Amino acid sequence: MFRMTVQDVFFIRGRGAVATGRVQYGELRVGDEVRINDGPGVRVDAIEAFRKKVDIATLGDNVGLLFKKLTTSDLAAGDVITSGGVFLA
């Protein structure tokens, strides 16, 4: 299971939308499917931490999640990204 609240969103031309934030629960790997605000699933295409590509994001990490198929209109600060289960507020 994984949970991260989006702190900021930006777009990298030729790559896609990036959601930044701190991992609040669990871990996430490149290629995993996540849901934004419990919406349809979307694949995580890359994870970066301090401008370096990483394969895994774990509890407490500050990361950027890259989504090739999304635009900045699909994400906003305050959105919740989850995977692998149901989270109650």
CATH assignment at residue 66: 2.40.30.10
pLDDT at res. 85: 58
**In the structure encoding, which two tokens stand for residue 46, read together?**
């890359």
**In the structure encoding, which two tokens stand for residue 12, read together?**
């990298």
Cα–Cα distance measured from residue 74 to residue 89, given in angstroms and rounded to the nearest whole number: 22
Would you say the pTM of this structure is higher than 0.85?
Answer: yes
In-domain check, residue 88: no
User: In the chain, what percentage of residues exceed pLDDT 90?
Assistant: 87
**Summary mean pLDDT of the chain:** 93
pLDDT tens digit string along 43-87? 999 999 988 999 999 999 999 999 999 998 999 999 999 997 555
Tallying the residues shown for the chain, one arrives at: 89
Number of domains into which the chain is organized: 1
In-domain check, residue 61: yes
